[in-house]
Chain A
């Protein structure tokens, strides 16, 4: 056993394959710990950052240098207010603002912004208003009059209930002429673009910008407002390890869960392929005669049917009749790929069984009095181990490529990430307009290439090391 290991470890290609396969295996197994998003294709798990956000580490490159990450901070008022009597800290998160009759008190929260514009801007706070009709609270960022809160429902003012805590949310995504005085003031044709343009105007470049809450008391008595420290949040253009796709979903999550599915599917499918191939190949090769003739013709038939077109036809037919078949699509694809891929493996196993069967040591075993079954399991199958491992390894890339192809064409799995449908979605979005989202296009493709090459080398190493008789399969 040690010799085997030493043999293997002396091969650079084997070490390469083990490292690569190990890497993806860890990704696949640890997926739930690596990312909180288990299905980024679900709407709820999208927009974790801006669409087409680059990977966070890519900001080291000059062209991505100033792209903002996701930001989520609680703003604090500027120091100037601490001494004034009008604004005071009620507790660590709440300010008390006292406004004399007919007066206005502005509370300014400086926002330190180190990047270029974000994808959106969101501000949220809770406001407890006095129990009168005579007040108004306005929200400004820089000089933009973004929101007006008042007890009276006159658009573009937003209604608040007097004397109660009111959760207030401002989001550039949700602005319209009915809830934002600034948008209402724009020419009609520009109003619909406000959501897109506002983030660029509010936070155009690195700098410190003021978020101002202006408390207006139009009544005749001094009134008191309570307001929580506003939370600022925005989606950035630099996110995570591998950025985001066109829906702002984490590409890393997709990649990891794609790896998980692809590895799982391909290993199960390869096992099925080997299972069928071994049974048919062994039967044909070892029993021989009429059995061999029949099985060989059967195998030839499957081998000669063009695989991909048949796959496409079958998937379509099953799709049409699918209401009745009613099986999980992944299972269906798994079965179809396995059932179409075994002939090559069966042929190789048959060939090797034939050559093994005619070797002198098999006759010697017969001369010793061993039964056919014992010869099969003691001498034939163990000597096929190398071929079996190699085939298992060689089948994995085949399955991954076939499955990915189907997904890519949109005939396979679309509901959850696989490397294939990642490629499909990613390449569909490669266009002159969107540019080339390399962080999205490259990982699944490279993943497929590397894992395929790794399995190929793994198989070759196994074949060489485990086959004492230097049997060669293609």
Chain B
């Protein structure tokens, strides 16, 4: 009973959020230009396209998408098109936005998921070390490094890393195209393709790992240290359970909960978080698509990409709401 009520409430909440995002999209891409007296069609039209004059293009678009209709009618059309994933056609790529997104989504996923796993493991391993040597030099060094990595501008360190490992030491390929093709330009196949692809992705993955590691490490460490001083742990000690077992079994299990939350949130904003890395390492993922859209003022692309990123975040957050009580016994399905 409680479970179903909880599920329903969460779903309703997240749907409301999704609706809010739709409205927000409509506001940015339709209402805002109208306020400033710009025909939204003008945003969608490049200066010239296939030699046709701009005004003709605008009129054609107006007719096709009903952009000159009153706002309330447009609202329903807009919502409907977003819900059915009719995101329009990118001006700069001359392809449907949804196709572009579908192509790029796996690339970004390939980049983010391995680093998500890797950095969580690192965070916990180093966190355990920190907790067991609390206040000693090792702990201080690890904590300071973690805080540093949190504040290092990703784009900056990325370029430096790319320069040294890619250009200077030439350990990793720096260009995706070169990495997955043979010398005479044919696409590699089979194992060689995947091997080279992973070799190319190693550097960005390592890099995302490093910059996302800090927060999780600090969360885990601080939680662990707090737990180590708690009565719960004192009680375990009093029962004669060894420090090692307390740390690895009881403390880890509890301290890992905020890390899981954090990973979930990171996952939700996965596509948003790697914009810089994709830009630097020249990886054709969703983030780069967004930057391209911004550079070319490609409004359909911007709108579609932004919508899909938000949609993904909402879905993941909902999933997280549902599995969270399984991880943390203290949270009940209210």
| Chain A contact patch, size range | 35 or more
Q: When chains A and B are docked, how far (Å) is the Cα of A449 from the Cα of B151?
A: 6
Q: How far is the CA of A325 from the CA of B294 in the complex (A)?
A: 18
User: Could you tell me the distance between the alpha carbons of A113 and B291 in the complex, rounded to whole angstroms?
Assistant: 50
In the docked arrangement, what's the CA distance between A453 and B279, Å? 25
Q: Which residues of A contact B271 (CB under 8 A)?
A: 306, 309
A306 touches B310 (CB 8 A): yes
Which residues of B lie under 8 Å from residue A409 when comparing CB positions? Answer: 275-276, 279, 291, 294
A430 to B158, CA, bound (A): 11
Q: Are B299 and A320 in contact (CB under 8 A)?
A: yes
A62 to B271 alpha-carbon distance, docked (Å):
46
Interface centre among B24, B43, B153, B160 (most CB of A within 10 A): B153
Expressed in whole angstroms, the minimum distance between the Cβ of B90 and any Cβ of chain A is 14
B290 at the interface (CB under 8 A from A): yes
Q: Do A411 and B294 have beta carbons less than 8 Å apart?
A: yes
Q: Which positions 123-169 of chain B face chain A at CB distance < 8 Å?
A: 147-148, 151-153, 155-157, 159-160, 163, 167-168
B residues within 8 A CB of A313? 28, 290, 294, 302-303, 306
Distance in angstroms between the alpha carbons of A175 and B64 in the assembled complex: 60
Task: Check A449 against B152 for contact (C-beta < 8 Å).
Answer: yes
Q: Hey, which chain A residues are within 8 Å of B299, CB to CB?
A: 316-317, 320
Contact assessment for A308 and B43 in the assembled complex, using a CB-CB cutoff below 8 Å: no
* B36 touching A453, Cβ below 8 Å: no
> Which B305-327 residues have C-beta < 8 A from chain A?
305-306, 309-310, 313-314, 317
Closest to B295 in A: A410
Complex Cα distance, B269 from A305, in Å, reads: 9
A190 beta carbon closer than 8 Å to chain B: no
Task: Give the nearest-CB partner of B158 in chain A.
Answer: A427
A456 is an interface residue with CB less than 8 A from chain B: yes
Q: Closest CB-CB distance, A157 to chain B, in whole Å? A: 48
Contact A436 B163 (CB under 8 A): yes
- Stretch with Cβ within 8 A of B (4 or more), from A271-279, A346-354, A440-448: A440-448
Interface of B is mostly: helix
Assess the B297–A309 pair: CB atoms within 8 A: no
Is A304 touching B314 in the complex (CB atoms < 8 A)? yes
| A460 to B317 alpha-carbon distance, docked (Å) | 29
Q: Across the interface, do A452 and B151 meet the contact criterion of CB distance under 8 Å?
A: yes
Chain B residue at smallest Cβ distance from A445: B156
Chain A residues lying within 8 Å of B294, measured Cβ to Cβ, are 312-313, 315-316, 409, 411
**A-facing mask of B267-301, CB < 8 A → 1, else 0?**
01101110110011000000000110111010100
Q: Does B69 contact A (CB under 8 A)?
A: no
Q: Which residues of A contact B310 (CB under 8 A)?
A: 304-306
Contact with B along A296-324 (1 / 0, CB 8 A): 01001100111111101111110111001
Separation of A436 and B159 alpha carbons in the complex (Å)? 10
Contact assessment for A312 and B290 in the assembled complex, using a CB-CB cutoff below 8 Å: yes
Tell me how far the C-beta of A22 lies from the nearest C-beta in chain B, rounded to whole angstroms.
18
Cβ–Cβ < 8 Å partners of A315 in chain B: 294
- A436 CA to B166 CA, complexed, in Å: 13
Chain A nearest CB, measured from B286 CB (Å):
9
Q: How far is the CA of A319 from the CA of B291 in the complex (A)?
A: 14
A297 vs B17: C-alpha distance when bound (angstroms)? 9
Q: Digit string of A110-141 for contact with B (CB within 8 Å is 1, else 0)? A: 00000000000000000000000000000000
Does A397 make an interface contact (CB < 8 A)? yes
B306:A405 contact, CB within 8 angstroms:
no
* Other contacts beyond A313-B306, A408-B155: 16, CB < 8 A: A306-B306, A309-B306, A310-B306, A313-B303, A316-B302, A317-B302, A319-B297, A320-B33, A321-B33, A324-B36, A405-B153, A427-B159, A430-B159, A430-B163, A436-B160, A453-B148
Interface residues of A (CB under 8 A from B): 297, 300-301, 304-310, 312-317, 319-321, 324-325, 397, 401, 404-405, 408-411, 423-424, 427, 430-432, 436, 441, 444-445, 448-449, 452-453, 456
